[in-house]
């Protein structure tokens, strides 16, 4: 080190002892209003179609006359179906009545989720839509199974090729 470098290092600047942020603490959002009005929506996924009605209540689920746990024993499907209410922090605020048919459990869970999200959007679009949209819950998943083609075993699987 040269003499000039040591002079630069030995300057008498105060040490930083605490950090401050330029922005102030985030302002608490206004408390969400409780469930106010009934709503309805239709959800589709793969071959499943779900007609959903929500009414202010205690959080009771009825899917084709059965409870959520009876109809969707798989916890992942229960979580998928509940996602719109969880995103809006409305767990237990609405009773959900669902008629669903077609497809399998996974497709039906996706259809119910879209139906619940659409019905919540219909109840109060101004308040609920931005959060639902950001979470991607108002978008219809358009993926459907590809059709089988002639000359193939499945949609893309071809018979084994033999050179001789």
Instruction: State the Cα angle at 77 between 38 and 120, rounded to 5°.
Output: 20
Residues 17-35: what's their mean pLDDT? 59
- CA angle 42/43/44 to nearest 5° reads 130
**pLDDT confidence bin for 16, thresholds 50/70/90:** low
Domains of the chain: 39-134 (3.30.230.10)
Q: Quick check: helix, strand or coil at residue 149?
A: coil
101 pairs with which residues across the strands?
Answer: 49
Q: Quick one: CA dihedral 81, 87, 91, 97, positive or negative?
A: negative
Q: Which residue has the higher pLDDT, 73 or 18?
A: 73
Query: What is the rounded average pLDDT of the residues 117-132?
Result: 91
Residue 108 has pLDDT above 90, yes or no: yes
The secondary structure of the chain in percent helix, strand, coil, rounded to multiples of 5, reads 30, 15, 50
Q: How confident is the model at residue 105 (pLDDT cuts 50, 70, 90)?
A: very high
> What's the rounded Cα separation, in Å, for the pair 129 and 135?
10
At 133 the pLDDT is 92
For residue 110, is pLDDT > 80? Answer: yes
For residues 111-139, average pLDDT: 92
Q: Give the per-residue pLDDT at 36.
A: 74
């Amino acid at each position: 080190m040269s003499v000039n470098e040591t002079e630069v290092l030995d300057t008498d600047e105060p040490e930083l002892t605490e950090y401050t942020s330029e922005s102030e603490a985030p302002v608490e959002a206004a408390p969400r209003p409780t469930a106010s009005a009934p709503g309805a929506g239709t959800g589709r996924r793969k071959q499943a179609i779900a007609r959903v009605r929500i009414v202010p209540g205690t959080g009771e689920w009825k899917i084709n006359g059965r409870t959520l746990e009876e109809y969707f024993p798989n916890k992942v499907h229960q979580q998928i179906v509940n996602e719109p209410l969880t995103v809006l922090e409305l767990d237990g605020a609405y009773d959900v009545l669902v008629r669903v048919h077609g497809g399998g459990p996974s497709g039906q869970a996706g259809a119910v989720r879209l139906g619940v999200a659409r019905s919540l959007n219909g109840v109060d679009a101004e308040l609920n839509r931005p959060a639902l949209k950001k979470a991607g819950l108002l978008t219809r998943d358009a993926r459907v199974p590809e059709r089988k083609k002639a000359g193939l075993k499945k949609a893309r699987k071809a018979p084994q090729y033999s050179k001789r």
